[in-house]
């Protein structure tokens, strides 16, 4: 459904779909996202912001997205929020012009660095991984405050981690959200979870030595606890890594983890182009489809 052009055009206009997506998204505007961000301040959870949209087809559109993110960084500063930005490379022109994309990345990373924040790059489907890593390596050389997402379901990720470690990278490890073929990705849940755990454990000592900023981008708190157990057994602090979760998912667990000493970040997505992103959230958890259908009947 994420790739269906007819649904992409029509479904977001239907009131029940708009009601359903509100569970994962405080609103379509940056102001609504920032208002939601404020509510996490008292519980010590800081924020990642992402403007939804991907695979843009015009350079003007990509330029406008980059401009929007500069505005976001200014608004974050004005509100004194602890918030960083996470973007998709196809949002700022990766399908169209690599050099222009790099120009946007470098300018945004420089802007984010003014307040000591990281500019995060999301990871999209497997055909984009090489180009994303190429741009990341280049960006990291010029802007140490650059972070990238890696997907544990990809068979190549251990090799990518080893090749990135000398750069003192900032890595968000996720399980992976795209429907990838078995030739490039693990398809079984147990295999993905095992890959996730072993990658986390591999990166943990580097993170504890300050050579890597490690974000565990997952709602799988059992996995997080297993990584924390490894840390404790190796006498490493659980603050060596941070836990990053999406707005609206396992909020109670986010608060519990923050209260028990974990560093927790909440990623708030907003924007009008939520269709493909929302379909991936439904695919992750079939119960969400029932929730969406219930909105159909009010
Ligand atoms: P898993 O799917 O095993 O879920 C564990 C538990 O969490 C479930 O049992 C359920 O309780 C809860 N849960 C998970 N998903 C839910 C949902 N949609 N609705 C309700 N409950 C849910 N992917 C990618 O390919 N590129 C990227 O750049 C990113 N970026 C990113 C950033 C952050 C901060 C997060 C948290 C995730 C991503 N992802 C991503 C998505 C990621 O790849 C993955 O698809 C989801 O996080 C779901 O997997 P979990 O690790 O949460 O585990």
What domain range includes position 238? Answer: 26-273
Q: Helices 30-40 and 59-79: crossing angle, nearest 10°?
A: 40
Judge if the beta carbon of residue 219 lies within 6 A of ligand 1.
Answer: yes
Question: What pLDDT, on the 0 to 100 scale, is given for residue 298?
Answer: 61
Report the chain's C-alpha Rg in angstroms. 18
- The angle, 0 to 180 degrees and rounded to 10, between the axes of the packed helices 129-142 and 98-113 is 40
Instruction: Say yes or no to pLDDT of 290 above 80.
Output: no
CB of 177 closer than 6 angstroms to any ligand 1 atom: yes
If you average pLDDT over every residue of the chain, what do you get?
Answer: 94
Distance (Å, whole) CA 132 – CA 54: 14
Dig out the tokens for 111 from the structure. 């802007």
142 is known as an active-site residue:
no
pLDDT of residue 140: 98
Residue 6 lies in a domain: no
pLDDT tops 90 at residue 284: no
Instruction: Let me know if residue 16 belongs to a domain.
Output: no
Query: Is pLDDT at 54 greater than 70 in this prediction?
Result: yes
Q: Closest Cα to residue 243, out of 219, 223, 216?
A: 216
pLDDT band at 10 (very low <50, low <70, confident <90, very high): confident
| Atom 37 of ligand 1, residue of closest alpha carbon | 217
User: What burial letters (b/e) apply to 166-180, b meaning 16+ CB within 10 Å?
Assistant: eeebbbbbbbbbbeb
Asked, for residue 17, whether it belongs to a domain, the answer is no
- Number of structural domains in the chain: 1
What pLDDT score does 82 carry?
Answer: 96
Higher pLDDT: 217 or 6? It is 217
CB 153 within 8 A of CB 186: yes
For the four alpha carbons of 192, 172, 255 and 298, in that order, the dihedral sign comes to negative
Alpha helices in the chain (DSSP H): 5-10, 15-21, 30-40, 59-79, 98-113, 129-142, 157-164, 189-208, 221-233, 251-259, 275-284, 287-296
Residue 295 inside a domain? The answer is no
Task: Give the confidence band of 283 by pLDDT, cuts at 50, 70, 90.
Answer: confident
Q: Is 149 in the pocket of ligand 1 (CB under 6 A)?
A: yes
Q: Mean pLDDT over residues 228-245, rounded?
A: 97
Residues recorded for the chain: 298
The pLDDT tens digits for 90-146 are: 999 999 999 999 999 999 999 999 999 999 999 999 999 999 999 999 999 999 999
In a domain, 65, yes or no: yes
**For residue 296, is it within any domain?**
no
Beta bridge partners of 172: 149, 215
pLDDT of residue 44: 96
- Is residue 83 over pLDDT 90? yes
Q: Which pair of structure tokens corresponds to residue 55?
A: 């695979």
Q: Whose CA is nearest to atom 28 of ligand 1?
A: 122
Structure tokens at 72: 């976001």
Active-site position among 137, 142, 168, 172:
172
Closest Cα to atom 7, ligand 1: which residue? 219
Ligand 1: distance of its center to the CA of 246 in Å? 8
Token digits for 128?
């984009």
Q: Which of 22, 82, 97, 122 is catalytic?
A: 122
Would you say residue 295 has pLDDT above 80? no
Ligand 1 centre distance from Cα of residue 258 (Å): 18
Contact 108, 72 (CB under 8 A): no
DSSP letter at 139 equals H
**189 counts as catalytic:** no
H or E segment to which residue 217 belongs:
strand 213-217
Q: By CB neighbour count within 10 A (0-12 exposed, 13-18 middle, 19+ buried), where does 281 fall? A: buried
Mean pLDDT of 230-258: 97
Classify residue 175: in a domain, yes or no.
Answer: yes
Output the CA–CA distances (angstroms, integers) from residue 272 to 37, 99, 255, in the order listed: 18, 27, 28
Contact 14/51 with Cβ under 8 angstroms? Answer: no
Nearest-5° Cα angle at 281, 164 to 31: 85
267 lines ligand 1 (CB under 6 A): yes
pLDDT recorded at residue 282:
85
Identify which of 47, 54, 218 to mutate to test ligand 1's pocket (most ligand atoms within 8 A of the CB): 218
Q: How confident is the model over 175-214, as pLDDT tens digits? A: 999 999 999 999 999 999 999 999 999 999 999 999 999 9
Q: Is 250 within the bounds of a domain? A: yes
**CATH number, domain with residue 122:** 3.20.20.220
Average pLDDT over residues 27-53: 96
Using an 8 Å Cβ cutoff, are 102 and 135 in contact?
A: yes
For range 235-252, the mean pLDDT: 96
Q: Which atom of ligand 1 is nearest to the CA of 215?
A: 34
């Amino acid at each position: 459904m994420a790739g269906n052009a007819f649904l992409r055009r029509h479904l977001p206009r239907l009131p029940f779909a708009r009601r359903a997506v509100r569970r994962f998204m405080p609103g379509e505007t940056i102001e609504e996202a920032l208002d939601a961000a404020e509510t996490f301040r008292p519980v010590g959870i800081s924020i990642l912001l992402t403007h939804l949209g991907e695979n843009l087809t015009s350079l003007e559109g990509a330029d406008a997205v980059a401009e929007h993110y500069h505005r976001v960084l200014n608004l974050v500063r004005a509100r004194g929020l602890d918030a960083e930005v996470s973007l998709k490379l196809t949002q700022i022109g990766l399908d169209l012009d690599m050099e222009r994309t790099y120009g946007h990345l470098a300018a945004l990373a420089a802007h984010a660095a003014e307040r000591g924040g990281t500019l995060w790059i999301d990871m999209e489907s497997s055909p984009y991984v090489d180009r994303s890593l190429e741009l990341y390596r280049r960006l990291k050389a010029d802007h140490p405050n650059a972070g990238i997402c890696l997907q544990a379901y990809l068979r190549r990720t251990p090799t990518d981690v080893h090749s990135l470690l000398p750069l003192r990278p900032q890595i968000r490890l996720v399980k992976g959200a795209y429907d990838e073929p078995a030739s490039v990705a693990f398809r079984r849940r147990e295999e993905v979870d095992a890959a996730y755990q072993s990658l986390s454990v591999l990166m943990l000592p580097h993170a504890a030595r300050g050579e890597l900023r490690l974000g565990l981008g997952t709602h799988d708190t059992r996995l997080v606890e297993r990584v924390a157990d490894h840390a404790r057994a190796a006498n490493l602090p659980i603050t060596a890594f941070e836990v990053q979760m999406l707005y609206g998912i396992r909020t109670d667990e986010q608060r519990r983890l923050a209260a028990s000493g974990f560093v927790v970040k909440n990623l708030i997505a907003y924007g009008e182009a939520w269709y493909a992103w929302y379909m991936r959230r439904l695919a992750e958890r079939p119960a969400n489809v029932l929730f969406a259908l219930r909105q159909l009947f009010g």
